[in-house]
Amino acid sequence: MILPKEGGLSTEAFKVVAGFFLMISCTVGANLLMKQGASVSAAERIIFGIMGWRTFFGLCTFALAALIYSWILRWMPLNVAQSFTAIQFVAVILASSLVLGEPVSVGRWVGIALIGIGIALVGFDLQK
First to last CA, the chain: 13
43-75 residue pLDDT tens: 777 777 778 889 999 999 999 999 999 999 998
Letter for the amino acid at 86? A
Task: Single out the residue of 86, 82, 74 nearest to residue 117, CA to CA.
Answer: 86
**What is the chain's Cα-based Rg?**
17
CA pair distance 60, 53, nearest whole angstrom: 10
Contact 74, 36 (CB under 8 A): no
Residue 125: is it exposed, middle or buried by C-beta count within 10 angstroms (0-12/13-18/19+)?
exposed
CA pair distance 67, 56, nearest whole angstrom: 17
Contact 13, 4 (CB under 8 A): yes
Distances (CA, A) of 79 to 67, 82, 83, 119: 18, 5, 6, 12
- Give me the residue spans of the domains in the chain: 11-126
How high is the pLDDT of residue 8? 59
How high is the pLDDT of residue 127? 59
Q: What is the pTM of this model?
A: 0.81
67-112 residue pLDDT tens: 999 999 998 888 888 888 989 999 999 999 999 999 999 999 999 9
